[in-house]
A and B are shown apart, each in its own frame.
Chain A
Amino acid sequence: MKEELFVSGRDIPNIDPYLNIWHWQIPGYLYLGGLAAGILFFAALYTILNKEKEMQATVKWASFIPPIALVVGLFFLFLDLKHKPFFWQLYTTIRLESPMSWGAWVLMAITPLSFIWAGSYLREAWPKWDWKFKFLYDFEAWVQRNRYWFAWPILFLSVILGIYTGILLSAFNARPLWNTSILGPLFLTSGMSTGVAAILLLTKDKTERHRLTVIDLILIGIEVFLIIHLIMGFRASTAVQIEASRLFLGGQFTVVFWTFVFTLGLIFPAILEVLELRGYHLPAYIPAILVLFGGLVFRFIMVEAGQITRYLY
């Protein structure tokens, strides 16, 4: 009989050498959080710029997505928790150095704001809606008068929310693939791009579609730039980071990443959007769906791949 004995202090199930704790709930939540942040950002931005009339889908109709996305996303997070009854303890402390604390508090602030924002447009979308109580009608009227002042905090909080979806991973410095400050801006840009794509699915207005398409193209450009820098940064770093980047350069995530995220989720929709801007007739929902799908796959890959990268070999 051939017997091998391993003695190691590094065999910790589900943590070392490979992390195996985050499953579909986390990328699903990061995706929905980014999507909500993107939609809220542009809704707030165009309200502040006083362009509600030209950008109706952005400001009004898409605003019904973030509350749902945030609640579903938070439910995903809740499902991921090991000790579910203790989730509220996140709200017993404020830790400025912890991204999780930032995220918890930002969500605490932006989720109700997103409900109020969408609620203030509810009767425009469903005129038969009845608030039942007079104070709710008064509150609605007050929000409608003060939308500008709601827009500013939403604008700031949505940026923090968008960045946080990336920082949550990059603060995890025991995993080389995540431990890069590019993830914050990259997830923010990707979230904004998916947000714009979701609005593009709803808009029927030509001017709005044109403007959003240009914005989406710019965002895709920034995203491509950040992805290239992410990989170049890894390549120019230490051996563990080079090893992490290999997952995308020949390793097991190469095909999925370059096909679904980079080509079909960024480059191809960008080409279609350029054609659309040049006057070619295209079904506008195709690039939007591709961007939405690419963003989803991107988060799944980043969470999955990050967990199997490690410092010690």
Chain B
Amino acid sequence: MSTQDRSKQYMNPYLAGVLLGLVLLLTFYITGRGLGASGAVKSSVVAAVDAVSHSHATGSKYYSQFISDDNHPLNSWLVFEVLGVFAGAFLSGALAGRLKLKVEHSPKISSRTRLIFAGLGGLFFGLGSQFARGCTSGAALSGMAVLSLGGFLAMIFIFGTGYVVAYFFRKLWI
């Protein structure tokens, strides 16, 4: 595929960045708070644990803080936001004509390797996001938008660590 074709398919990253910033602005305007993604995963996990064993969930120091009698853990705006993200992403994929199931990976590794490492990376990131009380969108992006020091630190360390360890994992990509 020539470079020209690809440029036709993907949006200019700077423009996309500005648009993302505007989405964030709109989110603050409409909901009074920033974007997030890991919160929805957390709510799903809490809801699942609560459904399997209510006593375990209420007994746990971590899970119990998200469980109350008058509000279901999934009744969180982040869960709905992520539903919207799925719908919007699907629509965007359809409009761009890229709607098919595939695993993108470097030609030097197999799909399986890619999925295993993606899973591992996701696992670490999920764990980290709970230590940091937010992920790239919730802590870094939304945090920086309101000039929170934590937000800046999160952003620096997420990308800084990525930059530092990239060398060791370069064979997964190049």
Report which A residues bind B (CB closer than 8 A). 255, 259, 263-264, 268, 271-272, 275, 280-283, 286
- B156 contacts the other chain (CB 8 A): no
Shortest beta-carbon distance from B39 to chain A in Å: 16
Residue of A nearest to B101 (CB): A283
Most chain A CB neighbours (cut-off 10 Å) among B83, B87, B99: B87
Q: How far is the CA of A86 from the CA of B83 in the complex (A)?
A: 45
Q: How far is the CA of A264 from the CA of B80 in the complex (A)?
A: 11
User: Given A255-B75, A286-B90, A281–B97 Cβ distance below 8 Å?
Assistant: yes
Tell which of B75, B91, B99 touches A281, judged by Cβ atoms closer than 8 Å: B99
Q: Is the CB of A280 within 8 A of B95?
A: yes
Q: How far is the CA of A255 from the CA of B75 in the complex (A)?
A: 9
Give residues 80-101 of B contacting A (CB, 8 Å): 80, 83, 87, 90-91, 94-95, 97, 99
Q: Is the CB of B90 within 8 A of A264?
A: no
Q: Is the CB of B87 within 8 A of A280?
A: no
Report which B residues bind A (CB closer than 8 A). 75, 80, 83, 87, 90-91, 94-95, 97, 99
Q: Is the CB of B97 within 8 A of A280?
A: yes
Shortest beta-carbon distance from B81 to chain A in Å: 10
Shortest beta-carbon distance from B74 to chain A in Å: 11
Residues of A within 8 A of B99 (CB): 281-283
Residue of B nearest to A282 (CB): B94
Q: Is the CB of B97 within 8 A of A255?
A: no
Residues of A within 8 A of B90 (CB): 272, 286
Residues of B within 8 A of A268 (CB): 87, 91
Shortest beta-carbon distance from B78 to chain A in Å: 12
Shortest beta-carbon distance from B100 to chain A in Å: 8
Tell which of A255, A271, A275, A282 touches B80, judged by Cβ atoms closer than 8 Å: A255
Known: A271-B91, A272-B94. 8 other contacts (CB 8 A): A255-B80, A259-B80, A259-B83, A268-B91, A272-B90, A272-B91, A275-B95, A280-B94
Residues of B within 8 A of A264 (CB): 83, 87
Q: How far is the CA of A275 from the CA of B94 in the complex (A)?
A: 8
Residues of A within 8 A of B87 (CB): 263-264, 268
Shortest beta-carbon distance from A269 to chain B in Å: 10
Residues of B within 8 A of A275 (CB): 91, 94-95
Residues of B within 8 A of A259 (CB): 80, 83
Residue of A nearest to B98 (CB): A281
Residues of B within 8 A of A283 (CB): 99
Shortest beta-carbon distance from B82 to chain A in Å: 12
6 residue pairs, one from A and one from B, having the closest CB atoms = A282-B94, A280-B94, A268-B87, A275-B94, A259-B80, A282-B99
Residues of A within 8 A of B97 (CB): 280-281
Residue of B nearest to A290 (CB): B87
Shortest beta-carbon distance from B160 to chain A in Å: 37
Q: How far is the CA of A63 from the CA of B27 in the complex (A)?
A: 46
Q: How far is the CA of A272 from the CA of B97 in the complex (A)?
A: 13
Shortest beta-carbon distance from A194 to chain B in Å: 19
Q: How far is the CA of A24 from the CA of B97 in the complex (A)?
A: 40
Shortest beta-carbon distance from A290 to chain B in Å: 9
Shortest beta-carbon distance from B95 to chain A in Å: 7
Residue of B nearest to A275 (CB): B94
User: 15 A-B residue contacts at CB 8 Å?
Assistant: A255-B80, A259-B83, A263-B87, A268-B87, A272-B90, A272-B91, A272-B94, A280-B94, A280-B95, A280-B97, A281-B94, A282-B94, A282-B99, A283-B99, A286-B90
Q: How far is the CA of A293 from the CA of B90 in the complex (A)?
A: 17
Q: How far is the CA of A293 from the CA of B75 in the complex (A)?
A: 19
